[in-house]
Amino acid sequence: MREPLLDGHGRAIGDVRVSVTDRCNFRCQYCMPAEGLPWLDRAEVLTFEEIERIVALLATMGVGDVRLTGGEPLVRRDFPRLAAMLAQIDGVEDLSVTTNGFLLERDAAALVAAGVNRFNVSIDSLQRDRFFEMTRRDALPRVLAGLETLAQFPEAHPIKVNAVALRGFTEQEAIPFAEFARQHPYEVRFIEFMPLDADHAWSRDQVLSGEEIRAAIHAVHPLEPEPREPSATARVYRFADGNGRIGFINPVSEPFCGDCNRIRITADGHLRTCLFSHNETDLRGPLRGGASDDELASVIRDAVWRKELKHHVNDPGFIQPTRSMSAIGG
């Protein structure tokens, strides 16, 4: 084991989000244009072995929580094999996947067998026509079928369902999602719309705050707060009568930067220390250039030491990152 990975503000880094592809089979309005984006060349994307090496190195520095994202990770060929490779790394304590659910019916069993122990499934509406409006894909029945397939595996629970909250859209979804969380073994989480859309059209008046949604749900189904775990992104509530839980991720209205313990690796092998970073550190170059583990660890430590104290979404003069969410990795 190596020394723990610390940033310049004294925060110990314990969580890495690894994007395995920038490609996606949806075209969600808050993420990318209808015509899609230019994809990375296959040679630019990290190989399974390169991802394994980075994750194993980070694990020796105390980074034990690994989340696999995209794009849509399940479109990466042979993705369950990568999950199995990472699950076997000494020091990886928690292996999770964020997916749009479109291919879950096909891959749920293989991913659970590989050792993935937590799943986040993105669903922005429970109405087929509105789901189509948001994702530009008529895929809700298939996504819900995938969710049901996954739910059959006890080791996959707790399963979280993520909905991006957009003003003018999500108000109608709040109560149906609350009832969904009460009737099914899923924790629904509303995520405030962040300035990471490819069109750079984000504006504050499109943000429907978590507090507004919480108040609307509480008026119908009373909620009680649960204690916030250190470095947690979500504020979680249980329904007062005990039927289910619901969460709110409020990076715009209630930033949780103070105890952030996360870093990100993009599909093309760049280290980002904040979702809203304007700087990235190239790891693919040293990886392919013959760098030793000690040399790679030094590059990572230097980058993490410069990790931002906070994002600046709420500050005057905030500039949106060049890369959109699909290119950064959820």
Q: What does the pLDDT look like over 202-256, one tens digit per residue?
A: 677 788 999 999 999 999 999 999 998 888 889 999 999 999 999 999 988 988 8
Q: Which residues of the chain have pLDDT under 70?
A: 196, 202, 330
Can you tell me the distance from the alpha carbon of 186 to that of 227, in angstroms, rounded to the nearest whole number?
A: 19
Q: What confidence score (pLDDT) does residue 203 get?
A: 77
Q: What is the pLDDT of residues 268-308, one digit of tens each?
A: 999 999 988 889 999 999 999 999 999 999 999 999 999 99
Q: Which of 194, 216, 243, 28 is nearest to 122 (CA)?
A: 28
Question: Can you list the domains of the chain with their CATH numbers?
Answer: 15-328 (3.20.20.70)
pLDDT value, residue 283: 98
pLDDT of residue 196: 67
CA distance to 5, 153, 181, 239, 242, per residue, from 185 (Å): 35, 12, 7, 13, 12
* Residue 51 phi, psi dihedral angles, 5° rounding: -60, -45
- pLDDT at 30 (0 to 100): 83
Q: What is the CA radius of gyration of the chain?
A: 19
172: tokens are 């109608």
